[in-house]
A and B are shown apart, each in its own frame.
Chain A
Amino acid sequence: MVYEAVIGLEIHVQLSCTSKMFCDCPNRPGDDPNTNICPICLWLPGAVPRFSLETLEKATLACLALNCDIQSRSAFDQKVYYYPDLPKGFQLSQHHMPLSRGGWIDIIDENGKPKNLRLHHAHMEEDVAKLVHETEGRTPISLVDFNRAGTPLIEIVTEPDMRSPHDAMAFLKVLRTQLRYTGCAECSMDQGTMRCDANISLRPHGSDQLNTKVEVKNMNSIQHVGNAIAYEIKRQTESLKNNEPIVLHTRLWDPEKRITTAMRAKFEGPCVPDPAVTHILITDEWQQNMASKLPEMPQQKVKRFVRQYGLTHDEAAQMSSERELSEYFEAVVKLGASPRTVANWIATQLLPAMKEYGHEFATTPVTARRFSGLIMMLEKNEINSNSARSVLTKLFQTAQSPEEIVDQFGFRQVSDTGMLRGIVDQVVSDNMSAVENYKNGNKKSIGFLVGQAMKLSQGKADPKRLQEIIREKLA
């Protein structure tokens, strides 16, 4: 029998709020242990939670970016369980009345076709503390760091619309891009600011039943999610072939061994309405105000870049993959450089260089103005692309303008025909065998000759003009 995988994801995303969800403590889990804590997030006796408006704003923006329906009334529930990382015996989450329902995002499937993936709902919840297990002498001890306790999360629960590891990975990439666009979340799986659990079940191809699922946790990259799902599909297929029943449980992905191992029966604790946190009532007006704060989302931006700047779809997609990148691209273009050259240079030269120097768009000294200056000199043939690459390196190392760098280091392109002819004469007389080859029909030899001429000009000659002159001379 041919089986089809049915995959749903549950994704926890840390919101980039300045404070925690129910108190004023800074939302900086990485600080020294137990420095960002107070009576509320430690749940000292008598503490009363104070729900933060910032959490609601960021959560709402995130939900709107995923096309969710914001609910006019939502409320918190207590997810009851006991664990040392949970300071009060329950986690404040939204179960019965989530902040939003529905929602969708579009991906491109394996066959290159668009596919719409639906969300079931998205809700707010608080994160738990961090446990550190150590030993003191020979005694194992567990330390609790409450810095993360009470920091704001949204949990996004999808419908079981995904059918392959590709779908799941594509979903996560699009989700990440869209949420990053809103500025509400960093969504880094390796930093733990985005965490994903996958629910996987199998069914005979063509059937529409939903069978017992298995939950897989502990994937800390999008690639791991894909690998874990692929493994789980294989494992469940073999189980079914051997007539072993699939049992509802939770498995852990082991990235070293690249397998999943059974962890525990899937935990379903009680969820009771919380009596202390107020219900959240959202007016149409407030929601519209939030919607007006949403930036142009990546899908729209891709279309606009194609239409407005004549980029190919791939170029537009690449220039829209991050909000800061897209804004940088547009800023450079607005200063007068031609869009496709800019897109090409950002993709092939600037991004690798920024990675090498560890720069971010917001803070890099290679500002849009300096970069556009460079590209425009290239376009005006004032420098050739060889020199342009050298100038780019200097832009990272000095504070000078591209014009100053070109002048100071003599990168200006030599286009003077007389001068170029002199160089060509020299090259032709020095490389007679290559000239012979060319004359015998090996047209590729011209590349070698141009290369020699460029070398002689110390990289400053206009390669196009050089080629023309060599062709003329050997014709």
Chain B
Amino acid sequence: MQETRYTYLDSSPLPASADGALSGLSVAIQPNMSVRGWPTSAGSRALEGFTAIYDATVIERLKHAGAHIKGSIRMSELGFGLAGDTGATVLHKGDIDCLLVTDTMGEARMTACVAGDFGFKPSYGIVSRFGIIGLIPSMECCGIAAKNIKDIAGAMSVMAEIDSRDLSMPEFGADLHIPRFDRVFETREQIPSCGVVKECIDMLEKDESRAFSAAMARLAGRGLQIDEVHLKDFELAREVHNVIGAVEASSSAGKYDGVRYGHRTETAKNWNDMYMNSRAESFGVLVKTYLFQGAYFQYENYNAFVDAARIRARLLAQTESALERFDVLLLPTRRAAFDPSGAHTINTVYDVFSWTLIANITGHPAITLPHMVACGDTDLGLQLIGPRFQDERLLSIAARLTDLDREAHHHGL
């Protein structure tokens, strides 16, 4: 039954106009994206029964371009980690072309990787956050999982635009352009130079490492230039994400107090009780643990947060400098040993997203390509990270690499 995969299905008639840029494109979302009149719980009891009163900017733009927003699917609480394999199943069998997933530590890419599809996280700041319920504002942006790069480019060309309602977007102008996603397929890319992140490869298990090397060898056989590149502090990325992420999450979730909306406890003697009980009843164990971690760094160990922020700046600088030498950085998307849909503790969630969260820390665009890195029965996904605000070029390169790999298979390499 298709309906059970969705938590909400739109019953209004299909968009009438057939001449929009995205006419015929069918999109599913998660209930952290505001669509006027839709239940918008962000997967949390904290927002039980909450209905959005306006459209998020991305939704407004997609609707305007003629896309059909089909419905919303189950999501993990406040978008922390994945909700089982719901996303992958809907991509497979949900009659949709695109799934919008907020990518906070790699969720859009991981969903696609599990489904055997393409998953894209744009440059931080090119998609408006207005109307999207978030958890870690400095890391998250609206990502897309889709069956092909063309649909990603199509949706992004509509979604990526300056929004006067989100002043945290960079000042685009003469020196800095919003990526032109309409030009992804305009020119055929030269064969790109690729840097494989050495520190990541060093952390792979043997079988993962073998699978990744085999894929690299196959691509090199088609003329791809591949070299090692160093991101010296790569090993610390996970801790950086965890500390900063928990602190920001703790603040972001502060608004769920049951005073103005959302879940309010039945049992409270005074307002202090009301706060404590409402919040205790609102969040699941995983999110609660994460919020406690954040509160710990806020109240007890602020220096750890300051350290994390400093290492974050270093990771950004290292990634920038690596991308001065290479067109894209390559690394796997997922780990073979960890089941993305079965992660239920902070540690296992971070295990799952070990290789994706670097792009959330630095704000670079990243895409995962399917069917290229096979480790036994598991597709590890090939992840490409490109320079900030050159997303259209990253998608071009992704398309070129996909073609090259197909040619390699065709030639029996």
Contact = CB atoms under 8 A, between A and B. Distances in A.
B14 interface: no
Contacts of B52: 45-46
Residue of B131, B166, B259 most packed against chain A (CB within 10 A): B259
Contact of B166 (A48, A84, A270): A48
Contacts of A276: 137, 168
A231 to B, nearest CB: 31
A46 B130 contact: yes
A269 B128 CA distance: 31
Q: How large is the interface on A (under 10, 10 to 19, 20 to 34, 35 or more residues)?
A: 20 to 34
A261 interface: no
Contacts of B254: 80, 82, 88-90
B168 A278 contact: yes
A144 B259 contact: yes
Interface stretch (B153-161, B203-211, B297-305): B297-305
A43 B132 CA distance: 12
Given A90-B251, A270-B298, A48 B130 contact: yes
Contacts of B194: none
A50 B138 CA distance: 16
B54 interface: yes
A277 B251 CA distance: 13
Nearest to A45: B133
Contacts of A144: 259
Contacts of A80: 250-251, 254, 298-299
Contacts of A146: 260
Contacts of B183: none
Nearest to B139: A275
Contacts of A272: 247, 251, 298, 302, 305
A33 interface: no
A44 B165 CA distance: 14
Contact of B167 (A42, A82, A90, A278): A278
A396 interface: no
Interface string B242-264: 00000110110111010111000
B275 interface: yes
Q: Which of B32, B40, B130, B168 has the most CB of A within 10 A?
A: B168
Contacts of B275: 82, 84
Given A43-B255, A46-B130, A270 B299 contact: yes
Interface in A56-102: 78, 80, 82, 84, 87-90
Nearest to A141: B271
B305 A46 contact: no
Interface string B136-164: 11100000000000000000000000001
B253 to A, nearest CB: 8
Interface string A38-54: 01001111101111000
Contacts of A49: 167
B222 to A, nearest CB: 42
A80 to B, nearest CB: 6
Given A84-B259, A89-B255, A46 B56 contact: yes
Contacts, number: 90
A46 B34 contact: yes
Interface string B75-98: 000000000000000000000000
B271 A142 contact: yes
Contact of B53 (A39, A51, A274): A39
B42 interface: yes
Contacts of A48: 128-130, 165-168
Interface in B253-312: 253-255, 257, 259-261, 271, 275, 298-299, 302, 305, 309
Interface residues of B, number: 43
A475 B131 CA distance: 95
Contacts of B34: 45-46
Contacts of B40: 45-46
Contacts of A277: 167-168
A46 B132 contact: yes
Contacts of B253: 89
B47 interface: yes
Interface in B211-264: 247-248, 250-251, 253-255, 257, 259-261
Contacts of B132: 46
B330 to A, nearest CB: 29
Contacts of A78: 251
Nearest to B136: A275
Contacts of B47: 45
Given A270-B298, A272-B298, A278-B167, A87 B260 contact: yes
B185 interface: no
A34 B56 CA distance: 24
A89 B261 contact: no
A84 B40 CA distance: 23
Nearest to B250: A80
B271 A275 contact: no
- Residue with the greatest number of chain B CB neighbours at <10 A, chosen from A44, A46, A142, A144: A46
A281 to B, nearest CB: 10
Given A272-B247, A275-B137, A275-B138, A50 B53 contact: no
A144 B274 CA distance: 15
From B34, B47, B136, name the one whose CB has the most chain A CB atoms within 10 angstroms: B34
Contacts of B257: 82, 84, 89
A44 B247 contact: no
Nearest to B244: A275
A50 B134 CA distance: 16
Interface centre among B50, B247, B255, B305 (most CB of A within 10 A): B255
Nearest to B44: A45
Nearest to B137: A275
Nearest to B305: A272
Nearest to B253: A89
A344 B298 CA distance: 60
Interface in B346-360: none
A434 B138 CA distance: 93
Contacts of B166: 48
Contact of A39 (B54, B248, B250, B299): B54
Nearest to B260: A42
A275 B259 contact: no
B130 A270 contact: no
13 contacts: A45-B52, A49-B167, A78-B251, A82-B257, A88-B251, A89-B255, A90-B254, A269-B299, A270-B298, A272-B298, A274-B251, A275-B248, A278-B167
Given A269-B299, A278-B167, 17 more contacts: A44-B261, A45-B32, A45-B40, A45-B133, A46-B32, A46-B34, A48-B130, A51-B167, A80-B254, A84-B271, A84-B275, A88-B255, A89-B251, A89-B255, A270-B299, A274-B251, A276-B137
- 5 closest Cβ pairs, A-B complex: A89-B254, A275-B138, A270-B298, A88-B255, A275-B137
